[in-house]
């Protein structure tokens, strides 16, 4: 046997042994997971092409290992020490909820002490920030409600969206049959914010030009024309991809209603309340700890049009995704690396911010 063939044979045996080890560990001895990184979409390959929310995590963490995930929409990725998982849930509430439930009951993993980091892009409310702003949420709010076309609504109504059990917009229902409010662990949110608020976020000329559009209304929206930063602001999720000044105002009031004035709308997306619901149920099943859920969203676009633009023009404008992905990874990885580095401290005791 030639030296080259012998080397190839050894390499093949090594790969087969590694695969067998992975299968044995996952089937017989569930991996104790420290962090689950939750992203929602990846348009192509995990590496080397146009990125989605997942690619930076795969390439930079790195998450080199791959496992099949029949209950999801995308293979699971894992790190070299088998204690950090990365998943792509699929966009929209139904995909996000189903993927988290499927992972939560997967016997290959012990998730009872895992921290869950939702790390994705979103539409940012110009009242709270700008493109590139990173928001840690205290609340994940759902959108289950009633709606009539605003052209058929009473003249005094600002829009035709209102809560189930209510008889008009901007009122809390007399009887709550659907609770749209998922309160997250405020101490953990504050800890993540404290850890990341001093980060210098990436910026570029395109972002500067985008912010300049908001300068004429700087008095009303001062943060929209300022460089991005890290904030605490809440997540509003729904399956309808909405846009515009009117519906942004509806979202602001919706979050206030369901949090009894304690929350503030910052980011619009299509997954977070479903993820929170899935983890609520997994917690009841003793498969996960809901108190370890963190939601981080980074603005890739505004939730409404800039001055002089229409809502239709704004909703069809390409997003500044690539920079938002960079910021998502920078902020999110800061928290993940801290948990990994000091696992003995955080395994049993959830950190609390100041």
pLDDT in tens, 320-329: 777 999 999 9
- Mean pLDDT across the chain, nearest whole number? 92
What's the rounded Cα separation, in Å, for the pair 23 and 86?
18
Give domain limits for the chain: 32-143+180-346
Q: pTM score, two decimals?
A: 0.91
CATH topology of domain 32-143+180-346: Rossmann fold (3.40.50)
* Start-end of H helices in the chain: 3-28, 55-60, 93-104, 186-196, 205-212, 245-258, 272-284, 311-315, 321-341, 343-346
Reply yes or no on whether the pLDDT at 23 is more than 60. no
Q: Are 110 and 33 in contact (CB under 8 A)?
A: yes
Reply yes or no on whether the pLDDT at 105 is more than 90. yes
What's the rounded Cα separation, in Å, for the pair 33 and 233?
28
Residue 127 vs residue 22, higher pLDDT:
127
Q: Within 10 A of 286 (CB to CB), how many other CB atoms are there?
A: 8
Q: Are 89 and 99 in contact (CB under 8 A)?
A: yes
> In a 3-state reduction of DSSP, which class is residue 231?
strand
* Token code pair at residue 311: 């809502």
Distance of CA 22 to the CA centre of its chain: 28
pLDDT tens digits along 297-326: 999 999 999 999 999 988 888 887 779 999
* Token code pair at residue 272: 């977070």
Average pLDDT over residues 250-259: 98
Given pLDDT bands bounded at 50, 70 and 90, which one contains residue 27? low
Q: Within 10 A of 230 (CB to CB), how many other CB atoms are there?
A: 25
What's the rounded Cα separation, in Å, for the pair 232 and 184?
12
Q: Report pLDDT for 10.
A: 41
């Amino acid at each position: 046997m030639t030296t080259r063939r012998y080397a190839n044979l050894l390499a093949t045996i090594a790969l087969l042994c590694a695969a067998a080890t992975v299968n044995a560990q996952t089937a017989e001895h569930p991996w104790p997971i420290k962090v689950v990184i939750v992203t929602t979409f990846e348009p192509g390959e995990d590496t080397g092409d146009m990125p989605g929310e997942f690619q930076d995590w795969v390439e930079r963490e790195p998450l080199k290992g791959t496992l099949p995930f029949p209950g999801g929409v995308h293979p699971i990725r894992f790190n070299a020490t088998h204690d950090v998982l990365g998943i792509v849930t699929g966009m929209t509430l139904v995909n996000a909820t189903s993927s988290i439930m499927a992972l939560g009951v997967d016997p290959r993993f012990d998730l009872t002490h895992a921290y869950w980091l939702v790390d994705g892009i979103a539409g940012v409310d110009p009242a709270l920030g700008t493109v590139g702003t990173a928001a840690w949420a205290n609340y994940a709010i759902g959108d289950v409600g009633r709606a009539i076309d605003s052209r058929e609504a009473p003249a005094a109504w600002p829009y035709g969206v209102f809560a189930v059990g209510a008889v008009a917009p901007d009122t809390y229902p007399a009887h709550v049959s659907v609770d749209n409010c998922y309160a997250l662990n405020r101490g953990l949110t504050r800890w993540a914010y404290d850890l990341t608020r001093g980060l210098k976020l990436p910026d570029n000329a395109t972002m500067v030009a985008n912010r300049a559009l908001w300068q004429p209304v700087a008095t009303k929206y001062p943060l929209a024309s300022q460089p991005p930063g890290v904030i605490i602001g809440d997540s509003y999720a729904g399956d309808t991809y909405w846009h515009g000044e009117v519906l942004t105002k509806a979202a602001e009031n919706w979050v206030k209603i369901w949090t009894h004035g304690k929350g503030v709308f910052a980011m619009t997306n299509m997954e977070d309340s479903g993820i929170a619901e899935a983890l609520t149920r997994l917690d009841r099943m003793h498969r996960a700890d809901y108190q370890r859920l963190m939601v981080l969203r980074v603005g890739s676009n505004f939730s409404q049009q800039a001055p002089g633009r229409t809502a239709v023009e704004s909703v069809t404008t390409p997003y500044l995704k690539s920079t938002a992905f960079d910021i998502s990874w920078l902020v999110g990885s800061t928290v993940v690396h801290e948990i990994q580095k000091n696992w003995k401290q955080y395994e049993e005791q959830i950190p609390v911010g100041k």
